[in-house]
Structure 1
């Protein structure tokens, strides 16, 4: 199929921010009135699971957060499409089932975005073959970005028996249950934009757990976010409680004696998720059960999230402690990459111009004469801050904004916008607000200092008239370029300080430089011996892809792709622990 190769989403493009923000608000509001999950259940009342249990051994792939820039998305799709990958001398077969763990497209789930950022790359990497009798299946859990249109286009792609390249969609709802060999199950749940799990979905999984799970069943749970990590960031985060409710009440039947007795020996051996775009594995303490592997594997194509902000130990299921075992990228590499925010203007030219134009517009309002024949620029030009005219400088500012309410409004808008940008959900709330207030104050100081500097230079040193067209153009160029660059640097310094010292703003501080590297996915082997999880990572993605086919039937060549095991295979043996 024909599609356009897209770059990584620029999250600091003001137009993109505004569009995504509107989508988020609308989906949150209307999602509460028209829950697509309930409509799915009304149209598909059959409680069915997908049975792959007739095999002695089965391979399964898990990938999440994938439909972003072409280079990382296609690089991962190319690996997933290969018949096998050889790691440490062992061939790992392509998954007979591909599970996508959320956020299948960025930034919003428009049909054109699904086509350009997901369907196109995956079709090109693994073209549909009608003669292939062993086409792998694909199942998908929706993430928050899939929900921004109320799940409309997600359902069209994944619940109507369509093809995604040579992968075949099978599910009829946005959640599903797969029966795997040797009494293993994979359960994929849909939590709509952090909402409660809907009643039809609870009924669906309760029926399967009640009728088909046994005391020997082992469950791999797929969710759209690492709620255990978010709980460690913010104790008021409720997503972890919803996950615990699902495990206790739906899988284990807590509160119903017969149901609970039957499933009391059931084990949740792993929870797989994305949403944070890195690899991180926590492991619960050993007890009478296998340790539960809590794995975040959100490296399917979107920008990389830092790992140095993760805590070494967190509270997990049933109050058990869970220890951090492995991260990718390493914490050291994560810290180094975070310093890229210091060159924020290089990555976000649109924000540079936004700040510069905002400052220019504010100056234009302040320039209008109200109480004095002199404009604010002429007053500023008569001051010499290096000679100690500090009090006069602030007097001019106060006089200016007191006679120009619109300028005062813009000053407050800039300050409050930056203050409200502060991440107060992670770390110490009061300290974060103080940092945000200082950040906002620095932007205002920067504006008024530059207003003085350019007035002093243009009108005083260069002797240009305030209304001289050349001076006006020069001032606009100075404020847009220099003002924008310095404001961008201030913004980048704040992001670097936040993510490195305060350990917050993890998304804002990593989406800024949109790092394509450090991608990952999981390949699982399910056999009579148990489950083996192979975390596969690559530090760099291929960027030299060339289309050697046609626009309608593209075929991309490039590489090579250098991939590796992030850590030793995680083995969960199929045996009871006494």
Structure 2
């Protein structure tokens, strides 16, 4: 974690987005994820809940024969985006230019889809990136007391949901927004008006429900959900972007698949599967009657609440989705026999499966694909969105940008370049002349092809050099493995070889044209080094100049390696993202703060569900203290010269009762 400043002294634009390629952030995220996963494997915190589990009755929150509620997910990243979305969600009514007839009042029920703070879920991240942004955005005349329901995502689990538990489970102090938080577990069920139900599920880091969660939900479905009623399933991740079946083994369905099958067997209608986790908006729908079901339903991903943008043109997002109710003949017991499978397929024309058609994406795939090219310089861009002139004027901001930004990743690459060269260059000395190797001073008469052959040969003479090159190979393949082992190998290996090529080339160029060997040999060793002061100085220079030459050469190698390695990684990210791969790993360094939004729902007097995706393409980049002292809230408003966010309805749909 960086040096966080809290309170009024840290406006939104000073709360920089998380630099996901900062080595410290990567190390911390990996450490916390492994630690929590290890705890869950041995003692799943979800199974420690006790007492009766009851559905929350939200029907009393309806006003004027209409029930409004909001859904926001993936909020606590950069302050500009988080604060902009929070202001819009908490405003009594959404002002929409050109849509005077459309009234969209704020809902009294606020549903949070997880990932409240990044990169982890510690108390300081929650305060810095989540609590203070929402508290500052709360209107002064906030008369209607809200009810908040929430589920955790993977980043909320990085501290074993300790912070999530304190904020949303048994929060008797009503700490968050002075709102009512009625849930007693990390998952919930809410009874909505006109026979609608909202199930909020918790997967922890295991990709499925735990046994206790499944059993209490199963009992509630059997006793309270009636045939013909409509169900919304809120998931912590859009599992439908994974291959059909979600890797469940034959004979042993996942518990959430069995829960969906139980709902259908009960006569309920699963009308919407809703999730955040992917930081964009995508809606896909299936028509009534398709796949043997007498209702239409939607798959909706809406993780646009404040985190960096994920592409909508990525393959796993745009690939065809299908659904089927499967009877597993390999199941040993009846409770394992039926499962609902939803996911991507390679053959979208499969007739017996229920098909989903893409209806809306925000941003649209063309805009998303265009943003991919910006990745070429992503590892060098300012972490806080500041212009380089502003960084140079403020040494503290410049230092913070380096230490807390992505620029440490190219620097790490430069160090790896240096380590690869240093370990490999051992054999380029007179000691290995018998093996065909030459000292760097001889490179002036050696062509590049001959040098490269010697360089590859040197890899097998120095085990340490081989290990450093192997580490670089593993790093490139691990980043590319997001889309599977095949993509990891086919793109990661050439990418790693390119970095090895650059490292060798830099060494050859510096050795041939750097003239460092001339500096190292410019002073001959005196015959009698202790004879007088001049001889002692000459002796000192004779022994120190080679060290100085080596340090200068190493420093130049690190700097040039950081520049070339960072640009190579950036171009690789741009190309892969453009082709629809590495949607997370290639877009996270871009840290794009635009295309943010949330969902506002209304259940009307006839029981129809109307959904509105409210989005803004850009968010303000500078804020100032509210000059209206009487208003007091919101605490910060757009600074002079900053355009206010232009909110609009990006998507509108209806699921009829």
Q: TM-score, normalised on structure 2?
A: 0.78
Contact (CA 8 Å) 1:379, 1:396: kept in 2 or not?
no
Secondary structure of the 1:92 match is coil
1:265-414 mapped onto 2 (5 Å cutoff) = 266-287=268-289, 288-309=293-314, 310-311=317-318, 313-316=320-323, 318=325, 319-347=353-381, 348-368=406-426, 372=430, 379-383=439-443, 388-399=447-458, 401-414=459-472
Q: CA deviation at 1:229?
A: 1.3
Q: CA deviation at 1:165?
A: 2.0
| Residues 321/240 of structure 1: CA separation in 2 closer, same or farther (3 Å cut) | farther
- Between the aligned partners of 1:495 and 1:7, the Cα distance in structure 2 is 22
- Any gaps of 5 or more consecutive residues in structure 1? 253-259
Per the alignment, residue 158 of structure 1 pairs with 168
Contact (CA 8 Å) 2:276, 2:303: kept in 1 or not?
yes
Per the alignment, residue 562 of structure 1 pairs with 646
- Between the aligned partners of 1:561 and 1:39, the Cα distance in structure 2 is 44
Per the alignment, residue 78 of structure 2 pairs with 69
1:430-449 mapped onto 2 (5 Å cutoff) = 430=486, 432-449=488-505
- Any gaps of 5 or more consecutive residues in structure 2? 1-5, 326-352, 382-405, 522-544
Deviates more, 1:477-486 or 1:65-74: 477-486
| Residues 207/351 of structure 1: CA separation in 2 closer, same or farther (3 Å cut) | same
Secondary structure of the 2:299 match is strand
Per the alignment, residue 482 of structure 1 pairs with 560
Q: Deviation string for 1:91-137 (max 9, x for gaps)?
A: 201111110112111110110000001111011111688xx663011
Q: CA deviation at 1:356?
A: 0.9
Tell me, yes or no, if structure 1 residue 517 matches structure 2 residue 526: no
Contact (CA 8 Å) 1:81, 1:94: kept in 2 or not?
yes
Q: Deviation string for 1:307-337 (max 9, x for gaps)?
A: 1123253213544111111101111111111
Deviates more, 1:175-184 or 1:132-141: 132-141
Per the alignment, residue 47 of structure 1 pairs with 53
Per the alignment, residue 20 of structure 1 pairs with 29
Secondary structure of the 1:185 match is strand
- Between the aligned partners of 2:318 and 2:379, the Cα distance in structure 1 is 31
- Between the aligned partners of 2:647 and 2:380, the Cα distance in structure 1 is 29
Q: Supply the RMSD in Å over aligned alpha carbons.
A: 2.8
Q: CA deviation at 1:490?
A: 1.6
Per the alignment, residue 246 of structure 1 pairs with 259
Contact (CA 8 Å) 2:117, 2:125: kept in 1 or not?
yes
Per the alignment, residue 201 of structure 2 pairs with 189
Q: Deviation string for 1:370-392 (max 9, x for gaps)?
A: 9635899973442259x745134
Per the alignment, residue 255 of structure 1 pairs with none
- Between the aligned partners of 1:274 and 1:23, the Cα distance in structure 2 is 21
- Between the aligned partners of 1:128 and 1:207, the Cα distance in structure 2 is 43
Contact (CA 8 Å) 1:2, 1:553: kept in 2 or not?
no
Contact (CA 8 Å) 1:128, 1:166: kept in 2 or not?
no
Contact (CA 8 Å) 1:383, 1:456: kept in 2 or not?
yes
Contact (CA 8 Å) 2:137, 2:634: kept in 1 or not?
no
Per the alignment, residue 533 of structure 2 pairs with none
User: Larger Cα Rg: Structure 1 or Structure 2?
Assistant: 2
Contact (CA 8 Å) 1:49, 1:177: kept in 2 or not?
yes
Secondary structure of the 2:205 match is helix
Per the alignment, residue 656 of structure 2 pairs with 573
Contact (CA 8 Å) 1:380, 1:393: kept in 2 or not?
no
Secondary structure of the 2:313 match is coil
| Residues 7/424 of structure 1: CA separation in 2 closer, same or farther (3 Å cut) | closer
Per the alignment, residue 218 of structure 2 pairs with 206
Q: Deviation string for 1:168-225 (max 9, x for gaps)?
A: 3221111111111111111101111134312221222223222222223111111111
Tell me, yes or no, if structure 1 residue 456 matches structure 2 residue 512: yes
Q: TM-score, normalised on structure 1?
A: 0.88
Q: CA deviation at 1:493?
A: 2.1
May I ask how many residue pairs the two structures share in their alignment?
549
Q: CA deviation at 1:362?
A: 3.5
Q: CA deviation at 1:449?
A: 0.8
- Between the aligned partners of 2:275 and 2:496, the Cα distance in structure 1 is 35
Q: CA deviation at 1:38?
A: 1.2
Secondary structure of the 1:304 match is coil
| Residues 112/389 of structure 1: CA separation in 2 closer, same or farther (3 Å cut) | closer
- Between the aligned partners of 2:120 and 2:152, the Cα distance in structure 1 is 12
| Residues 371/489 of structure 1: CA separation in 2 closer, same or farther (3 Å cut) | closer
1:119-268 mapped onto 2 (5 Å cutoff) = 119-126=131-138, 134-161=144-171, 162-231=174-243, 236=247, 242-249=255-262, 251-252=263-264, 260=265, 263-264=266-267, 266-268=268-270
| Residues 117/378 of structure 1: CA separation in 2 closer, same or farther (3 Å cut) | farther
Per the alignment, residue 256 of structure 1 pairs with none
| Residues 463/372 of structure 1: CA separation in 2 closer, same or farther (3 Å cut) | closer
